[in-house]
Amino acid sequence: MKPLSGIVTESAIDHSFSVKRLEDDVPYSGDFVRLNYHHIVMVESGKGSLKIDEYSFNIADQEIFLLSKGQICRFENDSSVHGYHISFGDCFWERVPASASNCKAVLFNNAAANQKLIPDQAEAREFSGLILNLLKEYQAESYTNQMDVMAAYLKIIMIKLANVKIVREDTFDSQDYIIYRKFMELLSSQYRSLHAVNDYSGMLNMTSRRLSELCKRCCDKSAKEIINGQIIAEAKRLLQFSAHSVKEIAYQLNFGTSEQFSHYFKKHTQISPVNYRSNFIHMEVES
C-alpha cells in the first residue's frame, strides 16, 4: 500500500502472541500502523491521545483499549502509558477453549463499539493482576504446554472484559447469538467481495429475513446495516491512510465502477469520497 500519512503494516509476532509491560515505551507511536493482530492495552496511568481509524480517544488512568485486526491506529507524540499491552492472532486464539469464543466475538467483531472500556477500581486491580501473571508465564523459560497456559489466562481476561461490557451470559449461549457470531466471522473475511445479505444467509443456510432478525436481537442493527458499516469503515481507512485513487479503492471493495462506489459512500456518510479524503488531509495539516 502506498503511504499517504506514514502508514506501516504491523510486524509479525512470534507464535502470534505477545504481552509486555509498558513504561512510557508507547506502542505504535510515530507512524500510523495497520494492525495484523488483536490488541488489548491496559492503561494503569497515562495521558495523551490514541487515534483509531477516524476517531481520537483521550487517555486517562484505569482504561482498557481494544483494537481489532485491520484497524489503523497511532498514539500521538505527547502520549505516555504505564500498563500492559497484549497482542494475539487468530491462530493463537485457537488454543483458547471454545467456551470463550463468544467473548472474543462480543469484544472484537464490532471493535468500534467497544474501543474503550472503563473498569471500576476493583476490576482494574484484577486485570492488572491477571495480566501480570500472564506476563510472568510469557517471560518464563519455555516448557511443555506453556502456550496452553497463556491461552487459559487470555480466556479469563476476555471473559472478564466481556463482563465489564455488561453483556448477558445467556446471550452468549443462545442459538441466535451463535449464528450471529458465525455471520460476523464470515463478514470479517468476506466483506470486500460480498456485499449482499443473501450472500451470507445462504452460507448460513437461512433466509435473509431470519439473519436480519437475529442480528437485530443481538446488536440492534440489521444484517445490511452491519455489512454497510464494515465496508464504510474500510473505505474510510483506505481514503485516509493510503494514496490509492477512488477508482482503485472501488475495485478493492468490489464495486463495478468508481461512480457506484462514490454514490454508495455518499449515501452512508453524506460526503463524497474525494471530499472525505480532502477533509482528512486538511485536519492532518492543521494538527
Q: Which CATH number fits domain 174-286: 3.40.50.300, 3.30.1130.10, 3.30.70.260, 1.10.10.60?
A: 1.10.10.60
Q: What is the structure's pLDDT at 172?
A: 54
Q: What is the structure's pLDDT at 22?
A: 94
Q: What is the structure's pLDDT at 166?
A: 54
Question: CA torsion 177→73→116→175, rounded to 10°?
Answer: 0
Q: Is pLDDT above 80 for 95? A: yes
- In this chain, the answer to whether the domains covering 7-168 and 174-286 adopt an identical fold is no
Q: For residues 259 and 100, which has the higher predicted lDDT (pLDDT)?
A: 259
Residue 8: all three cell numbers together:
506501516
| Arithmetic mean of pLDDT over the chain | 87
Q: Would you say 105 and 181 are in contact if contact means Cβ atoms under 8 Å apart?
A: yes
Q: Is pLDDT above 80 for 102? A: no
β pairing state of 72-75 and 32-34:
antiparallel
Q: For residues 67 and 109, which has the higher predicted lDDT (pLDDT)?
A: 67
Q: What is the structure's pLDDT at 101?
A: 67
Q: How many residues does the chain have?
A: 287
Q: How far apart are CA 165 and CA 57, in angstroms?
A: 18
Q: What is the pLDDT of residues 57-93, one digit of tens each?
A: 999 999 999 999 999 999 988 899 999 999 999 889 8
Q: How far apart are CA 210 and CA 196, in angstroms?
A: 14
The CATH homologous superfamily for domain 7-168 is Regulatory protein AraC (2.60.120.280)
Q: Would you say 242 and 1 are in contact if contact means Cβ atoms under 8 Å apart?
A: yes
Cα 135 vs. chain centroid, distance in angstroms?
22
Q: How far apart are CA 19 and CA 170, in angstroms?
A: 31
Q: Is pLDDT above 50 for 168? A: no
Residue 93: which residues within 8 A CB-CB, separation 6 or more?
38, 104, 151, 154
* E strands, 110-166, in order: 116-117
Q: Is pLDDT above 90 for 30? A: no
Coil vs helix vs strand at 260:
helix
Q: What is the pLDDT of residues 173-198, one digit of tens each?
A: 578 878 888 898 899 889 999 999 99
Domain boundaries, the chain: 7-168, 174-286
Q: Is pLDDT above 80 for 161? A: yes
Q: How far apart are CA 126 and CA 109, in angstroms?
A: 24
